Amino acid sequence: MQKISLVIPVYNEEQSLPALFERTLAAMDKLKRPYEIIFVNDGSRDGSMDLLRVQYDKRPDVVRIIDFNGNFGQHMAIVAGFAKVSGDVVITMDADLQNPPEEIARMAAEFEKGHDVVGTIRENRDDSFYRKFCSKIVNIITNKITGLNIHDYGCMLRLYSRNIADIIAHSEEGTTFIPAFAQKFASNPTEIIISHSRREKGVSKYSFFRLVSLNFDLMTNFSLVPLQFITISGLIISLLSVLFAVFLFVRRLIIGPEAEGLFTLFAISFFLTGFLISSIGIVGEYIGRISKEVRKRPKYVIKKEYGLGDE
């Protein structure tokens, strides 16, 4: 019987962890198959690590812990978990219980059908209108740019075959968006609809700027479309600018000097300036990420491991 490895990043989730332990262990025990749960403490500054150690002492047969020496981000925490898994099936899940662990059984059933990646789509998402609207727009734009056809990039309750997890774990890229990376290398991916709940304890760790940064990572890592769009738009605007200059010259010859149209010229100038600044910003995003890659800094640093041979 195939073993399941569940990877859960934890960052300042002291309030959510007791319920997470209870529900997740109950759901995994019901599967009647071998499993392990790898908690990755991503530099928590509250009592999360203390609770993780207590749970490890209670269930050393299935609980594993990777303790980072700082905050390296959710996706790097998952990559670290992927590098340590021993199961044939790997599942990722957030620690906030917005996606119920009881759905794991359905995901495992899809894997048995031959799917190497099982994505999830949150049904009746219990979030604010603002978050749901922005998420929908991001999903549409990102799919157009990357061509990956993922319907819910923000849901981290996902299943991967061990082969896909190994590919991600051994990737040398400094920034890795796990769902998109897996979709890129999957041979038979699928998606299922799952339930979703509002966060009951703690607060979201994703600020507006962190979400923007994450989506830039996604776009720049999986597509050159933004750069190609800038190039084509620049050529079109240059052509239109030449035609407009010719028009103004001919008009001056026919009508003579005039002050009319001054505000039109200002509007065009403002538009071109805004376009130029945006273009420089997009190019800068790519250059910044190239800079991160060439520095070859460690993706994460592990302080200690529990249940994984470093105790």
Annotate 250-271 with DSSP letters as a single string.
HHHHHH----TTHHHHHHHHHH
Among the listed residues 135, 251, 265, 241, the one whose alpha carbon sits nearest the alpha carbon of residue 196: 135
State the pLDDT at residue 210.
59
**Over residues 82-102, mean pLDDT:** 92
Residues linked to residue 4 through DSSP beta bridges, in sequence order: 35, 89
Give residue for tokens 């959710």.
74
Position 22 pLDDT exceeds 80: yes
Position 56 pLDDT exceeds 90: yes
Helix, strand, or coil (residue 159): strand
Distance CA 195, CA 202 (A): 20
pLDDT single digits (tens) 195-209 = 877 666 655 555 555
**Over residues 163-169, mean pLDDT:** 91
Looking only at Cα atoms, what is the longest distance across the chain? 90
Q: Could you please report the per-residue DSSP string of 46-79?
A: SSHHHHHHHHHHH-TTTEEEEEESS---HHHHHH
DSSP annotation of 102 reads G
Query: What angle (nearest 5°) sits at the alpha carbon of residue 128, between those of residues 124 and 130?
Result: 115
What is the chain's mean pLDDT, rounded? 81
DSSP annotation of 84 reads T
Position 132 pLDDT exceeds 70: no
Q: Determine whether 130 is exposed, middle or buried from the number of CB atoms within 10 Å of its CB (0-12, 13-18, 19+).
A: exposed
Among the listed residues 201, 204, 159, the one whose alpha carbon sits nearest the alpha carbon of residue 178: 159
Non-local (6+) Cβ contacts of 286 within 8 A are 220, 226, 227
Backbone torsions φ then ψ of 295, nearest 5 degrees: -70, -25
Model confidence band, residue 222 (pLDDT cutoffs 50, 70, 90): low
Of the spans 124-138, 182-196, 253-267, which averages the highest pLDDT?
Answer: 182-196
The more confident residue out of 260 and 306 is 306
Among the listed residues 292, 120, 273, 157, the one whose alpha carbon sits nearest the alpha carbon of residue 216: 292
Model confidence band, residue 284 (pLDDT cutoffs 50, 70, 90): confident
